[in-house]
Structure 1
Amino acid sequence: MLERLKTFVRGVIRKMFPAKSIEQALDVKPCISSVMQERIEFWHNMYIGIAPWCKGSVTSLRKEQGICMEFANVCLNEMESQVSIERLDDIYKKAIQDLNENLQSGLALGSFIIKPLGGDKVEYLTADKFVPLAYDERGRLTDVVFIQDKKDGEDYYRRLERHTLIDSMLTISNRAFVSKSQDDIGREISLESVEEWKNFPKSVSYQGIDKPDFGYYRNPIKNEIDGSPCGVSIYEAGIDRLEEVDNQNARIKWEFKSGERAIQVTPQAVKKTTIGPNGEMSFETADLDERLYRTVDLQDGECKDFYREWSPEFRDTNIINGLNYHLRQLEFSVCLSYGDLSDVADVDKTATEAKIAKKRKFNMVAAIQSNLKDCLEDLVYALAFYNAMLRSGYEFSCTFKDSILEDEATERENDRADVALGAMQLWEYRMKHYAEDEETAKKMVAQTADVIE
């Protein structure tokens, strides 16, 4: 059933519209390459649980979603943002109501856009839904094509909506195309040919615009795939580990399945006798629990047993330890702290290693928040533009608390209180926070006591 579902999902996933078709239609070379588009599709398939290695007995543990969810939750958990003008602030707050779940998708595919639709309505578009054409020196997207699809019978209709910001002039243009193929741009038609598109202007320009009319976010990860400014998935560096995790999980499932208790019985041991209406006797096999009983020929030399128990020893501990090892390697690769994905009770790390891991995660979170702040600042500008409040003198503020490092400081203070109460030994405190082994910690405590005396 699961395999049929995977096949169905693969069949309905829409591939990204080829960048070369955009180049053909608009006579401009996109920033994104075909290699990058294929990678985005690959990240997307991983995110929804159908990575190429997920076949047969190997299914996805969906750790890709776990990674994105952890980063999104930490980044937004203590975010405080507001606009000084109440009406614009209300519009902004409604626009970001679904920010967490869409940030998760953006982290998975490398980038996303928050595009105003008028009023307080916005559309979240991940990297597979737009084609970047140009960036400025800050990495801000200044020329982009949004693609809207419509299928009518055998015909594929597409509307290409291009937003270009050059020298403080924003130009929005719309063009429509029809094709018999999903991968071909086809021939150009008038916007009036499609009822829903007849009111879109062919081209309109606005002077005095300093920022794009949308918010653009990209992950703070250098693009080594095609060298473009396009965003890279948050789990790109951990792809090999993610594959190992799924394979190891398959081994765990097989260990439990193959090690199920069973009773092997001879056919003679499970015969039952019935007597017919005329006194005749017949023999047939009794109804048994097929999961527990297995009928086999138990010939063992000269002896013949009627039954034999099958109860092999489980090797689950070693295999689960192996899974935790791969999870810890994955945590390192994607800049998570030890224990975010792995079993926290099995994290055999020194206090120094744990502190470094937290600092590594903090640095990544801080970089994500910095890029997200730029995205939200541009979003507020776009909302002000579309709601005629661009010259209202609004101010936007966005702050994030350093909860990761604050948690560490809080933990240290709590441990100090436990030491003072006698609930924790001072040498235990030193082991935890000074990365000392038990012998060294006890020695240091003794030396301190001698000095005090």
Structure 2
Amino acid sequence: MTIADKLKELGYTTINESFCSKVQEWKSWHEGDVKGFHRYKIRNGSGIVRCKRYSLNMGKKVSEDWANLLMNERVEITLEGSKEQAFIDRVFEENNFRVKSNEMQEFAFALGTVAFIPRVVGMKATEKGPIPGSASGIIIDYVTVEHIWPLSWQNGVIIECAFDSIVTVDGEDYCYLQIHHKANGFYDIENRIYLYRNGNVDKEVSLSSVSGFETVPPVVHTGSEKRQFVIDRPNIANNLDYSIPLGIPVYANAIDNLKGVDVAFDSYVNEFILGKKRIMVKPAATKYIDGEPVFDPDDLSFYVLPEDISDDGAVITQIDMTLRTNEHTTGIQTQLNLLSSKCGFGETYYRFDGGNLTTATQVISENSTMFRTIKKHEIILEQAIKELCRIILQLGNIAMDARLNEDAKVTIDFDDSIIEDKTTERNNDRQDLASGIMNDWEYRMKWYNEDEMTAKKMLPRMEDMTDEEQDEVE
């Protein structure tokens, strides 16, 4: 049976499986190989020819560009409290979060939904709950929508959820099912493992019988009223199925535009293939003179006719078709403009120039479509990162006895360099600082991403450095 069927057998209700088939279609666009579109058949008059359509793979490009705009190396995650900051930094570094968060953002915009699931490792636990301070670390599982099964939700927020993963142990495939559900107001995490054969969930086996799962308890009572998983998705309404809490890709309503781009690009490439210069020759031209062939038989420019079919008596006829490059470039650009607009970039984000696909690099204005769309997507992403940090802090206290402030303020500073000229803004603030309009600690808070206490604490050091420089001058 399928995972959805297994969940129903366990008494849980999840999303309709028809949505899963739609996810597979979106995934094929991200991969750039859509069945029935990129591979197709045409009749040439004497038979059927199998063809492969050339593609710019804009499903991948659009998702990748949104990930780079939202979650890049310039995004700063700051926590109030040096101890809390150091703990989060260490967990993120151990889980390659800087790289994986960008990758998961791309998957979110390509497939609709992703999840981050922090879990402790090396923790001794019983059915009564985890033993405080017994864990050795925290691991973040990165999960895409194919493995996310919402069980209950309200106002689009997933309250209970199941996650599956297919693992291979000693040559045997298993389906590991982790179910986060509420019991008496507190979250329990139910762990189950099944044999997985031919894409179907088979009989359940004990966790202790599978290598690597011996210490995983069947049920963990977290004792927490807050969920221990984070859902991230684009800030776009799911018009495919309003009733479910999963998101849709940024190009979900632009499939026709993706097709339009590839049809235009395929025609562009074929224009060069079909328009290649040819020289048609009669059989008489293949005769040898003094033991040498008249032309190189390996030269692909020549095509020998089967018989003398020319009426004009010419032995050699040149075919040189005029390439319609300008028309194709215009056509591709039009399709890119439509796709760019439908995906929230505005109409001129992509440019097809000289056979190269480029993106706009100019600073965009605050009243542009792209600016508003970026800010809209940042709302959900900011909530997701803050929730992830708080779950990690909570796990650090429960499982590692880290004694952290779980209510520490979390600040996300997104990279707005494409939106505003940071250098100009910083110079303006320096002028305000020199004029006394801005306080020195306010300047540090803004440009060094410090909280007010830290910024004020750092100021005496700056004054000491200034005094030392003056002493050296004297």
Q: TM-score range by the shorter chain?
A: 0.7 to 0.9
SS in 1 for 2:102: helix
Contact 2:230/2:384 (8 A) holds in 1:
yes
1:349 counterpart residue number: none
Aligned ranges for residues 62-141 of structure 1 at < 5 Å? 62-77=57-72, 78-83=74-79, 84=81, 85-94=84-93, 95=95, 96-98=97-99, 99-118=101-120, 119=137, 121-137=139-155, 139-141=156-158
Higher helix share: 1
Q: Is 1:223 matched with 2:238?
A: yes
Deviation at 1:154, TM superposition (A): 9.7
Listed as ranges, the gaps of 5+ residues in structure 2 are 40-50, 121-136, 356-362, 425-474
Contact 1:262/1:311 (8 A) holds in 2:
yes
Q: What is the root-mean-square deviation of aligned Cα atoms in Å?
A: 3.1
Counterpart of 1:202 (choices 218, 222, 240) is: 218
Instruction: Deviation per CA, 1:151-187: give whole Å up to 9, x if none.
Output: 579965222111124665121111122254413x332
Q: Is 1:332 matched with 2:341?
A: yes
Give distance in 1, aligned partners of 2:364 and 2:414.
21
Contact 2:344/2:370 (8 A) holds in 1:
yes
User: What percent identity do the matched residue pairs reach?
Assistant: 20
1:239 counterpart residue number: 255
- Identify if the C-alpha distance between structure 1 residues 403 and 18 changes in structure 2 by more than 3 Å, giving closer, same or farther: farther
Amino acid at match of 2:330: N
Amino acid at match of 1:311: D
Amino acid at match of 1:383: I
Deviation at 1:293, TM superposition (A): 0.9
SS in 1 for 2:227: coil
1:58 counterpart residue number: 53
Instruction: Deviation per CA, 1:113-166: give whole Å up to 9, x if none.
Output: 1222433532211111221212244x3332111212245799652221111246
1:379 counterpart residue number: 388
- Identify if the C-alpha distance between structure 1 residues 252 and 238 changes in structure 2 by more than 3 Å, giving closer, same or farther: same
SS in 2 for 1:135: strand
Amino acid at match of 2:230: G
Give distance in 2, aligned partners of 1:109 and 1:333.
16
Instruction: Deviation per CA, 1:70-113: give whole Å up to 9, x if none.
Output: 21122234532122323323235424212112211111111111
Contact 1:115/1:124 (8 A) holds in 2:
yes
Instruction: Deviation per CA, 1:24-55: give whole Å up to 9, x if none.
Output: 3321101x211211111111111011123111
Deviation at 1:312, TM superposition (A): 0.8
Amino acid at match of 1:262: R
SS in 2 for 1:196: coil
Contact 1:110/1:231 (8 A) holds in 2:
yes
Contact 1:336/1:358 (8 A) holds in 2:
no
Deviation at 1:236, TM superposition (A): 0.5
Q: Is 1:41 matched with 2:57?
A: no
TM (norm. structure 1) is: 0.75
Amino acid at match of 1:162: I
- Identify if the C-alpha distance between structure 1 residues 122 and 323 changes in structure 2 by more than 3 Å, giving closer, same or farther: same
Contact 1:213/1:381 (8 A) holds in 2:
no
Deviation at 1:382, TM superposition (A): 1.8
Instruction: Deviation per CA, 1:193-224: give whole Å up to 9, x if none.
Output: 322222210001122x2432132212111112
Contact 2:27/2:110 (8 A) holds in 1:
yes
Give distance in 1, aligned partners of 2:143 and 2:337.
32
Instruction: Deviation per CA, 1:372-406: give whole Å up to 9, x if none.
Output: 11111111122112222475253311133544542
Q: Which moved more, 1:73-82 or 1:122-131?
A: 73-82
Give distance in 1, aligned partners of 2:88 and 2:211.
35
SS in 2 for 1:186: strand
Counterpart of 1:28 (choices 7, 12, 24) is: 12
Q: Is 1:260 matched with 2:276?
A: yes
SS in 2 for 1:343: strand
Q: Is 1:310 matched with 2:293?
A: no
Report the count of equivalent residues: 376
Contact 1:266/1:298 (8 A) holds in 2:
yes
Q: Which moved more, 1:225-234 or 1:159-168?
A: 159-168
- Identify if the C-alpha distance between structure 1 residues 384 and 167 changes in structure 2 by more than 3 Å, giving closer, same or farther: farther
Instruction: Deviation per CA, 1:300-347: give whole Å up to 9, x if none.
Output: 43x31121111111112112211111111111111112332233799x
Contact 1:381/1:390 (8 A) holds in 2:
no
Give distance in 2, aligned partners of 1:35 and 1:20.
11
Give distance in 1, aligned partners of 2:353 and 2:271.
23
SS in 2 for 1:195: coil
Give distance in 2, aligned partners of 1:286 and 1:150.
61
1:9 counterpart residue number: none
TM (norm. structure 2) is: 0.72
Give distance in 2, aligned partners of 1:273 and 1:401.
72
Listed as ranges, the gaps of 5+ residues in structure 1 are 1-16, 276-282, 347-353, 411-453
Give distance in 1, aligned partners of 2:55 and 2:143.
25
1:188 counterpart residue number: 204
Contact 1:176/1:190 (8 A) holds in 2:
yes
Contact 1:19/1:33 (8 A) holds in 2:
no
Give distance in 1, aligned partners of 2:92 and 2:232.
18
Deviation at 1:226, TM superposition (A): 2.0
- Identify if the C-alpha distance between structure 1 residues 120 and 338 changes in structure 2 by more than 3 Å, giving closer, same or farther: farther
